Chain A
Amino acid sequence: MPVSSFLQWLQDTGFSTALRDSTWAEPVIETIHVLTLTVFLGFTVLLDLRLLGVAMRHKPVSEIFGELNPPIIGAFLMMLTTGVLLFCGDPVAFYGTIFFRVKMIMLILALLNILIFSSTLGRRFSEWEQNPNTPAMAKLAAILSLVLWAAIIAAGRAIAYAVPPP
């Protein structure tokens, strides 16, 4: 089934119609989506700053990862759920804007960045984490993460301009 007819089918489902027609669904979901940024983005930035060696330098990286990862993952799942719901309310229009597609591509890149980091340097924290100066590859991963998440948020804001809430 081509993407466009799938999206049209999704848009015509009772679920999507209910999301669109409800007065409160969009504002409530959107507010949760935006305010979860404080947990997701805030904690991710702190992780990245530690990887850059600028914040919480004397705490071992693995301790910070251990403390921050659970809330980051929880917040990400919350953003994912609310994001999917927002998409379901208006799938054709979302897919029609370039910002949505760019955001999805950058999202995949950001997750790949995490995957690569955790399967390389993230597997051997003990070898490098006591040193306040982090390895160049860790710094690179942190900068990629900061740039990608900032761009993802910018694209997300642009989607809301391009597809105004009902």
Chain B
Amino acid sequence: MFFAAVLKTFCEWCDNSFFGSAVRNSRWLFPFVEIFHLLALGVLGGTILLINLRALGLRFRRDPVSEVARELQPWMVGSLAAMLASGFFLFSSEALRMYFNLAFRLKMAFLVLAILFTFTLYRRVTFSKETRISPLKLKLVALLSIVLWSGVALGGRAIGYTRQVRTETRIMILALPPKCISW
């Protein structure tokens, strides 16, 4: 299939790129980038969840949904950008392996759907004046957002269990600190 061939070629290009090999050949670059991926996960998940909790009427009931959504929008977009950038670097160090990884494919499918949804229907509904959107529609949109982003997160977690722990990184982490004294 043409689409699959393009994706595979892209993965091979990532594997051979200078940043891909830099992350792959460095002992500390992978865990270093990974920390930022995790920190951005916290912020992205927190902002999306908070908008959804407001839409479901569970938090910030006194403030309009659109106000909460607009207020949190820059933090959501910023942390999403940080996740995409750090995720891309992690991916590029083992791109072809990820191409064949089922958990990764699942995560990417959810990610594409989640991003498309977030910047189209979701944005329109959460940015609108409350009176123009039925409460039921608002709640359904919030639930769908939670489902899609949970799919991305669970897929990401599953990647960690479907690939080998990087031995080089583990060796480096273990060698980092002085031996523990027994307290």
Contact = CB atoms under 8 A, between A and B. Distances in A.
Contact of B161 (A27, A38, A150, A153): A27
Chain A interface helix/strand/loop/mixed: helix
A154 B161 CA distance: 19
Interface string A136-166: 0000000000000010011001100110100
B96 to A, nearest CB: 23
A22 interface: no
B31 A158 contact: yes
Interface stretch (B13-21, B39-47, B128-136): B39-47
Given A3-B183, A161-B173, A37 B38 contact: yes
Contact of B157 (A34, A43, A96): A34
A9 to B, nearest CB: 16
Q: Which residue, B39, B42, B47, B165, has most C-beta atoms of chain A within 10 A?
A: B42
Interface in A55-84: 55-56, 59, 63, 67-68, 71
A43 B50 contact: yes
Contacts of B31: 157-158, 161
A39 interface: yes
Nearest to B153: A35
B170 A37 contact: no
Interface in B141-181: 153-154, 157, 161, 165, 169-170, 173-174, 176-178, 180
B137 interface: no
A41 interface: yes
A154 B165 CA distance: 17
A45 B178 contact: no
Contacts of A119: none
A59 B49 CA distance: 19
Contacts of A96: 180
Chain B interface helix/strand/loop/mixed: helix
A42 B174 contact: no
B182 interface: yes
A34 B39 CA distance: 11
A110 to B, nearest CB: 14
Contact of B170 (A68, A71, A162): A162
B42 A37 contact: yes
Contacts of B47: 42, 46
Nearest to A4: B182
A99 B177 contact: yes
Q: Which residue, A43, A63, A97, has most C-beta atoms of chain B within 10 A?
A: A43
Nearest to A46: B46
A161 B50 CA distance: 31
B71 A164 contact: no
A164 B153 contact: no
Contacts of B154: 31, 35
B170 A55 contact: no
B124 interface: no
A96 B154 CA distance: 30
